[in-house]
Protein backbone atom coordinates (compact mmCIF):
# COMPACT_ATOMS: atom_id res chain seq x y z
CA UNK A 1 0.00 0.00 0.00
CA UNK A 2 1.51 3.39 -0.97
CA UNK A 3 2.57 5.48 2.02
CA UNK A 4 0.59 8.50 0.76
CA UNK A 5 -2.62 6.44 0.55
CA UNK A 6 -2.20 5.24 4.13
CA UNK A 7 -1.61 8.78 5.36
CA UNK A 8 -4.72 10.00 3.54
CA UNK A 9 -6.81 7.11 4.88
CA UNK A 10 -5.53 7.77 8.41
CA UNK A 11 -6.45 11.45 8.18
CA UNK A 12 -10.00 10.65 7.03
CA UNK A 13 -10.36 7.97 9.76
CA UNK A 14 -9.16 10.31 12.52
CA UNK A 15 -11.55 13.04 11.35
CA UNK A 16 -14.36 10.44 11.29
CA UNK A 17 -13.51 9.38 14.85
CA UNK A 18 -13.65 12.98 16.06
CA UNK A 19 -16.95 13.65 14.24
CA UNK A 20 -18.47 10.53 15.81
CA UNK A 21 -17.56 11.84 19.26
CA UNK A 22 -18.81 15.33 18.36
CA UNK A 23 -22.15 13.93 17.19
CA UNK A 24 -22.53 12.05 20.48
CA UNK A 25 -21.68 15.24 22.42
CA UNK A 26 -24.36 17.20 20.55
CA UNK A 27 -26.93 14.49 21.28
CA UNK A 28 -25.99 14.53 24.96
CA UNK A 29 -26.36 18.32 25.03
CA UNK A 30 -30.02 18.27 23.97
CA UNK A 31 -30.96 14.68 24.79
CA UNK A 32 -32.85 15.68 27.94
CA UNK A 33 -34.57 18.61 26.24
CA UNK A 34 -35.95 17.11 23.02
CA UNK A 35 -37.63 13.76 22.20
CA UNK A 36 -35.44 11.08 20.70
CA UNK A 37 -37.67 10.87 17.60
CA UNK A 38 -36.99 14.54 16.80
CA UNK A 39 -33.23 14.13 17.08
CA UNK A 40 -33.32 11.03 14.88
CA UNK A 41 -35.55 12.76 12.31
CA UNK A 42 -33.10 15.62 11.87
CA UNK A 43 -30.19 13.19 11.83
CA UNK A 44 -31.62 11.16 8.94
CA UNK A 45 -33.55 13.97 7.21
CA UNK A 46 -30.52 16.20 6.73
CA UNK A 47 -28.56 13.19 5.52
CA UNK A 48 -31.28 12.55 2.92
CA UNK A 49 -31.05 16.13 1.62
CA UNK A 50 -27.26 15.94 1.42
CA UNK A 51 -27.12 12.62 -0.45
CA UNK A 52 -29.89 13.74 -2.82
CA UNK A 53 -28.07 17.01 -3.53
CA UNK A 54 -24.80 15.15 -4.05
CA UNK A 55 -26.27 12.72 -6.60
CA UNK A 56 -28.09 15.51 -8.47
CA UNK A 57 -24.87 17.55 -8.73
CA UNK A 58 -22.94 14.43 -9.76
CA UNK A 59 -25.36 13.44 -12.52
CA UNK A 60 -26.11 16.99 -13.66
CA UNK A 61 -28.55 17.16 -16.55
CA UNK A 62 -28.48 13.37 -16.78
CA UNK A 63 -30.09 13.00 -13.36
CA UNK A 64 -33.20 10.83 -13.26
CA UNK A 65 -34.89 9.31 -10.22
CA UNK A 66 -34.55 5.96 -11.94
CA UNK A 67 -30.88 6.30 -10.98
CA UNK A 68 -32.03 5.04 -7.58
CA UNK A 69 -33.66 1.91 -9.01
CA UNK A 70 -33.05 -1.21 -6.91
CA UNK A 71 -34.30 -4.78 -6.87
CA UNK A 72 -33.62 -5.09 -3.14
CA UNK A 73 -36.13 -2.60 -1.73
CA UNK A 74 -37.14 -5.02 1.05
CA UNK A 75 -33.53 -5.20 2.24
CA UNK A 76 -33.19 -1.42 2.12
CA UNK A 77 -36.37 -1.09 4.19
CA UNK A 78 -35.16 -3.63 6.76
CA UNK A 79 -31.80 -1.84 6.98
CA UNK A 80 -33.53 1.48 7.63
CA UNK A 81 -35.82 0.08 10.33
CA UNK A 82 -32.90 -1.55 12.11
CA UNK A 83 -30.86 1.63 11.66
CA UNK A 84 -33.53 3.70 13.43
CA UNK A 85 -33.73 1.17 16.28
CA UNK A 86 -29.94 0.99 16.57
CA UNK A 87 -29.37 4.75 16.57
CA UNK A 88 -32.39 5.27 18.82
CA UNK A 89 -30.90 2.90 21.41
CA UNK A 90 -27.50 4.55 21.04
CA UNK A 91 -28.93 8.04 21.58
CA UNK A 92 -30.90 6.87 24.64
CA UNK A 93 -27.71 5.46 26.15
CA UNK A 94 -25.85 8.73 25.46
CA UNK A 95 -28.46 10.62 27.51
CA UNK A 96 -28.00 8.49 30.63
CA UNK A 97 -24.45 7.14 30.80
CA UNK A 98 -20.99 8.75 30.45
CA UNK A 99 -20.08 9.68 26.89
CA UNK A 100 -17.00 7.42 26.85
CA UNK A 101 -19.06 4.39 27.89
CA UNK A 102 -21.71 5.05 25.23
CA UNK A 103 -19.09 5.51 22.50
CA UNK A 104 -17.20 2.38 23.49
CA UNK A 105 -20.33 0.21 23.60
CA UNK A 106 -21.38 1.55 20.19
CA UNK A 107 -18.01 0.92 18.59
CA UNK A 108 -18.05 -2.76 19.63
CA UNK A 109 -20.56 -3.54 16.86
CA UNK A 110 -18.04 -5.37 14.62
CA UNK A 111 -17.64 -7.93 17.43
CA UNK A 112 -21.16 -9.25 16.88
CA UNK A 113 -20.96 -9.55 13.08
CA UNK A 114 -19.39 -13.08 13.08
CA UNK A 115 -22.24 -14.40 15.23
CA UNK A 116 -24.94 -12.75 13.12
CA UNK A 117 -23.64 -14.11 9.81
CA UNK A 118 -23.34 -17.58 11.34
CA UNK A 119 -26.81 -17.64 12.91
CA UNK A 120 -28.81 -15.93 10.16
CA UNK A 121 -26.78 -16.59 7.00
CA UNK A 122 -25.32 -19.99 7.82
CA UNK A 123 -21.75 -18.85 7.18
CA UNK A 124 -19.29 -21.05 9.15
CA UNK A 125 -17.93 -19.41 12.29
CA UNK A 126 -14.21 -18.64 12.17
CA UNK A 127 -12.94 -20.06 15.46
CA UNK A 128 -9.64 -18.26 15.04
CA UNK A 129 -11.48 -15.05 15.93
CA UNK A 130 -12.28 -16.29 19.45
CA UNK A 131 -9.19 -14.79 21.23
CA UNK A 132 -9.91 -11.32 19.86
CA UNK A 133 -13.64 -11.59 20.59
CA UNK A 134 -12.97 -12.73 24.15
CA UNK A 135 -10.71 -9.72 24.76
CA UNK A 136 -13.45 -7.47 23.42
CA UNK A 137 -16.16 -9.01 25.58
CA UNK A 138 -14.00 -8.71 28.71
CA UNK A 139 -13.58 -5.04 27.83
CA UNK A 140 -17.35 -4.64 27.58
CA UNK A 141 -17.74 -6.25 31.03
CA UNK A 142 -15.37 -3.64 32.47
CA UNK A 143 -17.62 -0.91 31.08
CA UNK A 144 -20.90 -2.54 32.13
CA UNK A 145 -19.64 -3.37 35.67
CA UNK A 146 -22.41 -5.94 36.29
CA UNK A 147 -21.34 -6.43 39.90
CA UNK A 148 -21.32 -2.73 40.80
CA UNK A 149 -23.71 -1.32 43.39
CA UNK A 150 -25.03 1.22 40.91
CA UNK A 151 -25.53 -0.75 37.71
CA UNK A 152 -26.19 1.38 34.66
CA UNK A 153 -29.14 -0.36 33.03
CA UNK A 154 -28.95 2.11 30.18
CA UNK A 155 -25.60 0.54 29.31
CA UNK A 156 -27.56 -2.53 28.19
CA UNK A 157 -29.59 -0.26 25.90
CA UNK A 158 -26.33 0.93 24.34
CA UNK A 159 -25.14 -2.66 24.01
CA UNK A 160 -28.41 -3.63 22.34
CA UNK A 161 -28.00 -0.72 19.91
CA UNK A 162 -24.52 -1.96 18.98
CA UNK A 163 -25.88 -5.45 18.27
CA UNK A 164 -28.58 -4.00 16.02
CA UNK A 165 -25.93 -1.88 14.28
CA UNK A 166 -23.97 -5.09 13.62
CA UNK A 167 -27.01 -6.47 11.78
CA UNK A 168 -27.10 -3.24 9.73
CA UNK A 169 -23.43 -3.81 8.79
CA UNK A 170 -24.23 -7.32 7.56
CA UNK A 171 -27.18 -6.11 5.45
CA UNK A 172 -25.07 -3.26 4.05
CA UNK A 173 -22.36 -5.66 2.93
CA UNK A 174 -24.95 -7.76 1.09
CA UNK A 175 -26.50 -4.69 -0.53
CA UNK A 176 -23.08 -3.57 -1.75
CA UNK A 177 -23.09 -6.57 -4.09
CA UNK A 178 -26.29 -5.31 -5.76
CA UNK A 179 -26.44 -1.50 -5.59
CA UNK A 180 -24.00 1.45 -5.73
CA UNK A 181 -23.15 3.08 -2.41
CA UNK A 182 -25.18 6.22 -3.15
CA UNK A 183 -28.30 4.11 -3.80
CA UNK A 184 -27.85 2.28 -0.50
CA UNK A 185 -27.39 5.58 1.37
CA UNK A 186 -30.37 7.17 -0.40
CA UNK A 187 -32.83 4.46 0.60
CA UNK A 188 -31.34 4.26 4.08
CA UNK A 189 -32.04 7.95 4.70
CA UNK A 190 -35.32 7.98 2.74
CA UNK A 191 -37.02 5.12 4.57
CA UNK A 192 -35.67 6.18 7.98
CA UNK A 193 -36.81 9.79 7.47
CA UNK A 194 -40.26 8.64 6.28
CA UNK A 195 -40.72 6.31 9.25
CA UNK A 196 -39.60 8.97 11.72
CA UNK A 197 -41.72 11.59 9.94
CA UNK A 198 -44.82 9.51 10.64
CA UNK A 199 -43.95 9.49 14.35
CA UNK A 200 -42.82 13.12 14.51
CA UNK A 201 -46.29 14.75 15.05
CA UNK A 202 -46.67 12.71 18.25
CA UNK A 203 -43.19 13.61 19.48
CA UNK A 204 -42.84 17.24 18.42
CA UNK A 205 -41.40 19.81 20.78
CA UNK A 206 -40.74 23.25 19.32
CA UNK A 207 -36.98 23.73 19.63
CA UNK A 208 -35.28 26.92 20.71
CA UNK A 209 -32.88 28.62 18.30
CA UNK A 210 -29.86 26.98 19.96
CA UNK A 211 -31.56 23.56 19.97
CA UNK A 212 -32.38 23.92 16.28
CA UNK A 213 -28.75 24.74 15.54
CA UNK A 214 -27.66 21.62 17.41
CA UNK A 215 -30.21 19.47 15.56
CA UNK A 216 -28.88 20.71 12.22
CA UNK A 217 -25.31 20.20 13.42
CA UNK A 218 -26.09 16.59 14.38
CA UNK A 219 -27.43 15.93 10.88
CA UNK A 220 -24.45 17.58 9.19
CA UNK A 221 -21.80 16.00 11.42
CA UNK A 222 -23.24 12.47 11.19
CA UNK A 223 -23.43 12.67 7.38
CA UNK A 224 -19.90 14.07 7.03
CA UNK A 225 -18.73 11.34 9.41
CA UNK A 226 -20.06 8.66 7.08
CA UNK A 227 -18.46 10.41 4.11
CA UNK A 228 -15.06 10.54 5.84
CA UNK A 229 -15.25 6.88 6.84
CA UNK A 230 -16.15 5.80 3.29
CA UNK A 231 -13.32 8.00 1.95
CA UNK A 232 -10.87 6.33 4.33
CA UNK A 233 -11.91 2.92 2.99
CA UNK A 234 -11.15 4.10 -0.55
CA UNK A 235 -7.48 4.59 0.33
CA UNK A 236 -6.86 1.68 2.70
CA UNK A 237 -8.45 -1.65 3.68
CA UNK A 238 -10.83 -1.88 6.63
CA UNK A 239 -8.24 -3.70 8.76
CA UNK A 240 -6.02 -0.59 8.61
CA UNK A 241 -8.80 1.97 9.06
CA UNK A 242 -11.05 0.44 11.73
CA UNK A 243 -8.59 0.60 14.68
CA UNK A 244 -8.26 4.37 14.20
CA UNK A 245 -12.00 4.78 14.84
CA UNK A 246 -11.35 3.84 18.46
CA UNK A 247 -9.78 7.28 18.83
CA UNK A 248 -13.42 8.41 19.00
CA UNK A 249 -13.48 7.09 22.58
CA UNK A 250 -10.46 9.26 23.43
CA UNK A 251 -12.05 12.32 21.78
CA UNK A 252 -15.28 11.52 23.64
CA UNK A 253 -13.39 11.42 26.94
CA UNK A 254 -11.93 14.86 26.26
CA UNK A 255 -15.32 16.33 25.29
CA UNK A 256 -16.97 14.69 28.31
CA UNK A 257 -14.41 16.33 30.58
CA UNK A 258 -14.53 19.76 28.89
CA UNK A 259 -18.33 20.13 28.70
CA UNK A 260 -19.63 18.03 31.62
CA UNK A 261 -16.65 17.77 33.94
CA UNK A 262 -16.81 13.97 33.89
CA UNK A 263 -13.44 12.24 34.08
CA UNK A 264 -13.63 8.64 32.77
CA UNK A 265 -12.79 6.07 35.44
CA UNK A 266 -10.19 3.33 35.30
CA UNK A 267 -12.74 0.72 34.24
CA UNK A 268 -13.70 2.76 31.17
CA UNK A 269 -10.09 3.07 30.00
CA UNK A 270 -9.26 -0.57 30.77
CA UNK A 271 -12.35 -1.60 28.83
CA UNK A 272 -11.34 0.64 25.93
CA UNK A 273 -7.82 -0.85 25.79
CA UNK A 274 -9.17 -4.43 25.90
CA UNK A 275 -11.74 -3.80 23.17
CA UNK A 276 -9.06 -2.10 21.05
CA UNK A 277 -6.66 -5.05 21.55
CA UNK A 278 -9.47 -7.45 20.69
CA UNK A 279 -10.18 -5.55 17.46
CA UNK A 280 -6.49 -5.55 16.46
CA UNK A 281 -6.23 -9.29 17.19
CA UNK A 282 -9.35 -10.12 15.17
CA UNK A 283 -8.25 -7.94 12.25
CA UNK A 284 -4.79 -9.55 12.20
CA UNK A 285 -6.27 -13.05 12.27
CA UNK A 286 -8.78 -12.15 9.53
CA UNK A 287 -5.92 -10.84 7.39
CA UNK A 288 -4.01 -14.11 7.77
CA UNK A 289 -7.12 -16.16 6.94
CA UNK A 290 -7.67 -14.18 3.74
CA UNK A 291 -4.04 -14.71 2.72
CA UNK A 292 -4.18 -18.49 3.22
CA UNK A 293 -4.29 -20.31 -0.13
CA UNK A 294 -7.34 -22.37 -0.86
CA UNK A 295 -6.70 -26.09 -0.66
| Whole-model pTM over 0.95 | no
CA distances from 170 to 33, 52, 114, 208, 288 (A): 34, 24, 9, 38, 21
Give yes or no for a contact between 109 and 279, defined as CB atoms under 8 angstroms apart. Answer: no
Q: Is 270 exposed, middle or buried (0-12, 13-18, 19+ CB in 10 A)?
A: middle
pLDDT at 74 over 60: yes
Q: What is the mean pLDDT of residues 225-244?
A: 76
Q: What is the mean pLDDT of residues 207-218?
A: 93
pLDDT in tens, 97-118: 888 888 888 888 878 888 888 8
Which of 39-43, 150-154, 160-164, 228-232 has the lowest average pLDDT? 150-154
CA distances from 228 to 15, 174, 211 (A): 7, 21, 25
C-alpha radius of gyration, the chain, whole number: 19
Give yes or no for a contact between 60 and 160, defined as CB atoms under 8 angstroms apart. Answer: no
Average pLDDT, the chain: 83
State residue 114's pLDDT score: 83
- The string of DSSP codes covering 90-153 is HHHHHHHS-HHHHHHHHHTGGGGHHHHHHHHH-PPP-GGGHHHHHHHHHHHHHHH-TTSSS--H
pLDDT at 22 over 80: yes
pLDDT in tens, 151-207: 578 888 999 999 998 898 888 878 878 888 788 888 999 999 999 999 999 999 999
CA–CA separation, 265 and 142 (whole Å):
10
Amino acid sequence: MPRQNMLTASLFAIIAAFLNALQASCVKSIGHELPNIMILFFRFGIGLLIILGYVISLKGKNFRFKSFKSNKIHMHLLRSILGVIGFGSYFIAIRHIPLVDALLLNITKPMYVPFIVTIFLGIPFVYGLIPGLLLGFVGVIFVLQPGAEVFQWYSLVGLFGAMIAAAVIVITRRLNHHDPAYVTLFYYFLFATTLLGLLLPFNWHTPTTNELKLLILIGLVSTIYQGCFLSALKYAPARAVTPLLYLGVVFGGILDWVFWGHVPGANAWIGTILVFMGAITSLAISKNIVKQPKS
